[in-house]
Structure 1
Amino acid sequence: MPIELGSFDIIIGMDCLAKYNVVIVCDKKIVCIPFGNEILTVRGWDVFLAHVTTKKAEDKSKEKQLEDVLIVRDFLKVFPEDLPGILPTQQVEFQIDLVLGATPIARAPYLLAPSEMKELSDQLQEVSDKGFIRPSSSPWGAPVFFVKKKDGSFQICIDYRELNKLTMKNRYLLPRIDDLFDQLQGSSVYSKIDMRSSYHQLGVRE
Structure 2
Amino acid sequence: MDWLSKLRAKIVCFEKIVQIPLSNGDILEVHGERPEGNLKQLKTMKVNESKLKDIPVVREFPDVFPENLSGLPPSRKVEFRIDLIHGAMPVAKSPYRLAPTKMQELANQLKELQDKGFIRPSSSPWGAPVLFVKKKDGSFRMCIDYRELNKLTIKNRYPFPRIDDLFDQLQGSKYFSKIDLRSGYHQLRVREEDISKTAFRTRYGHFKFTVMSFGLTNATMVFMDLMNRVCRPYLDKFVIVFIDDILI
Aligned-residue sequence identity (percent) comes to: 63
Select 1:106's aligned residue among 92, 95, 98.
Answer: 92
Give the Cα separation in 2 of the matches to 1:87 and 1:54.
54
Further displaced range: 156-165 or 168-177: 168-177
Give the Cα separation in 1 of the matches to 2:41 and 2:138.
27
Larger Rg: 1
Residues 1:73 and 1:165: Cα distance change in structure 2 (over 3 Å): same
Select 2:146's aligned residue among 160, 165, 169.
Answer: 160
Select 1:137's aligned residue among 117, 123, 129.
Answer: 123
Give the Cα separation in 2 of the matches to 1:56 and 1:145.
44
Listed one character per residue, the Cα deviations across residues 4-28 of structure 1 (whole Å, up to 9, x for unaligned) are xxxxxx999xxxxxxxxxx9569xx
Which residue of structure 2 aligns with residue 89 of structure 1?
A: 75
Give the gaps of 5 or more residues in structure 2: 1-15, 19-24, 30-39, 193-248
Which residue of structure 2 aligns with residue 59 of structure 1?
A: 46
Residues 1:55 and 1:168: Cα distance change in structure 2 (over 3 Å): farther
Deviation (angstroms), 1:159: 0.9
Deviation (angstroms), 1:148: 1.8
SS in 1 for 2:133: strand
Select 1:75's aligned residue among 45, 58, 61.
Answer: 61
SS in 2 for 1:179: helix
SS in 2 for 1:156: strand
SS in 1 for 2:150: helix
Give the Cα separation in 1 of the matches to 2:156 and 2:184.
20
- 2:116 maps to a residue whose letter is K
* Alignment partner of 1:173 is 2:159: yes
Residues 1:58 and 1:127: Cα distance change in structure 2 (over 3 Å): farther
Which residue of structure 1 aligns with residue 227 of structure 2?
A: none
Residues 1:24 and 1:159: Cα distance change in structure 2 (over 3 Å): same
Q: Aligned residue pairs: how many?
A: 164
Give the Cα separation in 2 of the matches to 1:168 and 1:114.
37
Root-mean-square deviation (CA, aligned residues, Å) is 3.2
* Alignment partner of 1:204 is 2:185: no
Give the Cα separation in 2 of the matches to 1:54 and 1:126.
49
Which residue of structure 1 aligns with residue 3 of structure 2?
A: none
Which residue of structure 2 aligns with residue 38 of structure 1?
A: none
Deviation (angstroms), 1:54: 7.8
Which residue of structure 2 aligns with residue 183 of structure 1?
A: 169
Which of the two has greater strand per residue? 2
Residues 1:108 and 1:189: Cα distance change in structure 2 (over 3 Å): same
Q: What TM-score comes out, normalization by structure 2 length?
A: 0.57
- 2:169 maps to a residue whose letter is Q
Give the Cα separation in 2 of the matches to 1:121 and 1:76.
30
Q: What TM-score comes out, normalization by structure 1 length?
A: 0.67
